[in-house]
């Protein structure tokens, strides 16, 4: 493609972002729609991400995705925001910056796709982690379940996120076996197990026979958690689903175009292979 001064520039910011598949996904959709735009990965290493994002105002960006650890900073940097955590930024024609969060809705889209009967079987959910993605997923699940439990190595962080949700509850890290056994949906939202990093021995053997297990990590696409769930015959949802569906909602916010999620999965699986 020919890049000119008129080409719209979008990207993903975070630390790290070298592993991100978002450029492959979004540039594929840009080509599908015949748009004059480009999407790039931008590592942002700073202790003051909010100021760095505000400084981007005059650089001509159309929009950005935001990943760890800058989602809270992205929301605070925006002139208009939906909540305290954001994974999508969009510069408006009036120069203002709007912040959105498509993580929660994207996760539900992925759940609908992979386990379409989940609303009839899930009463309690356990979310491992207490970061921006965990909070967004918890808020999205909250209206559909009786209880959303959060478990995190830093107990106070889990307690803070749990208190932000009407039916949120906190579990201690050493109560993980009890947590896995008490719910119909387990969602792993941390970086544990990503790119070969060490993960705990997930107590999948305590899961109920009707439990659904999801991991938002997608490198590797088959995490130890998902492998253990499949070995027990449980539905296991990989991280590509949430990545694609939150990305599709981002793309629609920027361009007003609904992209092809099936094509994105084909491209990303090819990239991972």
Catalytically annotated residues: 71
Nearest to 77 by CA among 106, 53, 109: 53
Quick check: 265 and 243 in contact, CB under 8 A? no
Question: How many residues are there in the chain?
Answer: 273
Residue that has been written with the tokens 């699986």 in this structure: 269
Q: Alpha helices of 2-43 — where are they, by DSSP H?
A: 22-33
d(CA 172, CA 114): 29
CA angle 253, 258, 261 (to 5 degrees): 115
Quick check: 89 and 111 in contact, CB under 8 A? no
State both tokens at 147: 């209880």
Give the Cβ contact number of residue 36 at 10 Å.
Answer: 12
d(CA 110, CA 61): 28
d(CA 248, CA 227): 27
């Amino acid at each position: 493609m020919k890049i000119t001064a008129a080409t719209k520039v979008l990207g993903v910011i975070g630390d790290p972002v070298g592993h991100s598949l978002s450029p492959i996904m979004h540039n594929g959709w840009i080509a599908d729609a015949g748009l004059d735009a480009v999407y790039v990965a931008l590592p942002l290493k700073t202790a003051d991400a909010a100021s760095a994002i505000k400084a981007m105002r005059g650089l001509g960006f159309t929009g950005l995705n935001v990943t760890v650890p800058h989602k809270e900073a992205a929301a605070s940097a925006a002139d208009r925001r939906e909540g305290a955590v954001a994974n999508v930024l969009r510069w408006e024609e009036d120069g203002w910056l709007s912040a959105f969060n498509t993580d929660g809705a994207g996760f539900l889209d992925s759940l609908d796709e992979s386990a379409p009967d989940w609303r009839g079987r899930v009463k309690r959910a356990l979310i491992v982690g207490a970061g921006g993605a965990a909070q967004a997923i918890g808020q999205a699940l909250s209206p559909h379940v009786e209880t959303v439990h959060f478990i995190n190595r830093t107990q106070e962080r889990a307690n803070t996120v749990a208190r932000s949700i009407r039916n949120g509850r906190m579990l201690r890290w050493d109560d993980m076996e009890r947590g896995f056994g008490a719910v119909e949906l387990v969602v792993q939202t941390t970086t544990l197990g990503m790119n070969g990093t060490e993960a705990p021995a997930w107590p999948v053997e305590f899961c109920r026979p009707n439990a659904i297990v999801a991991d938002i990590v997608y490198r590797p696409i088959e995490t130890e958690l998902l492998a253990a769930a499949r070995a027990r015959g449980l539905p296991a949802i990989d991280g590509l689903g949430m990545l694609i569906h939150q990305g599709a909602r981002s793309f629609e916010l920027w361009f007003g175009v609904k992209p092809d999620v099936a094509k994105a999965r084909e491209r990303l699986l090819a990239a991972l292979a």
